[in-house]
Amino acid sequence: SSYVSVKFQNTLMTDTFVTAVEVTDNQVFWSGLIASSFARTVVSPLEAQKTLQQLEDDPAATPAFAAEFLSDPLVYWAGNFTGIMRIPVYNIVQTSVINNLLARGFATNLATCIAGMVATVASECLETVKIRRLTDARKATPTYRHNLHALLNVGWREKIGALFRGAIPALIAHPLQFLVRKFAHKFFLKFLSTFWAWALSGILASTLILPLETIRRHMEADEGKKKRGMLATCRHITNCKGPFGLWDGWMWNSLKVIPYHYVQLWTYDALQNMALTENGRFLMAALNNKKAQ
């Protein structure tokens, strides 16, 4: 069914999967939520190292991953819970918007892109809290006691707008990532399996929008002392680290893509198999490149 296919696409950010037979919308939503949360938790250290490298004005001051991880591993999961909480908020908003747009006659791709942009803005406050928690955890005396304290602290001391400071670069990046990934995936499918086409298209798309993400992270981490806009933040980064500083963290970003997607899809498949009806069955085309019968 097209409706389940759209829900499946929204949950896992892909349009490459076969539709499960007799899988309810609730099963799609909860399986996707749990799978995405588990995969995000697994690759959280790689994501954290990428973010720390993006935010450091002096490249030499970026902590060595192995030494830092062994000395205080929990730092690399700081803010992960907030990132997990963002997933249902993002998906609920995206699903509501896309269903409304489809009912109004919008094309599926256009509706998905617009819905993703709306969901990105709606969940940006949680993304800001995640970044603040990550950077705060490395301080000798952390400012925030927990996620809710960070949310209220930023919203009260720096005003509500501070929670959405990174929304503009995120809005610009989303349609670019959507289009690049879609066309790159179709290209890679000509000579690669579905999973590898999806993974490589993800690496390519994330590489192209990495400058916008770097700017976004700086704006989210800004504790109100500088309050730079998007262009001023870009100039600050290039002045400190040169133009290639906008691509800081590229290696860690690329390293996380394949394990993230593999864990996400493997978990989703396992959860769907646990929830099968008597006449239903599900095959994960991404890993075995087969069609559901």
pTM above 0.75, yes or no: yes
Encode pLDDT of 249-272 as tens digits.
899 999 998 899 888 888 887 777
The helix, strand and coil proportions of the chain, stated in percent and rounded to the nearest 5, come to 75, 0, 25
Q: Are 9 and 95 in contact (CB under 8 A)?
A: no
Residue 91: predicted pLDDT = 84
C-alpha 293: how far from chain center? 31
Residue 157: predicted pLDDT = 87
Q: What is the DSSP string of 262-282?
A: HHHHHHHHHHHHHT--TT---
* CB neighbours of residue 33 within 10 Å: 18
Q: 158 Cβ partners below 8 Å, 6+ apart?
A: 223, 224
Encode pLDDT of 150-209 as tens digits.
999 998 888 888 899 999 999 999 999 989 988 998 899 898 887 888 889 989 999 999
Residue 220: predicted pLDDT = 92
Residue ranges, the chain, pLDDT below 50 = 1-23, 277-293
Residue 261: predicted pLDDT = 84
Residue 209: predicted pLDDT = 95
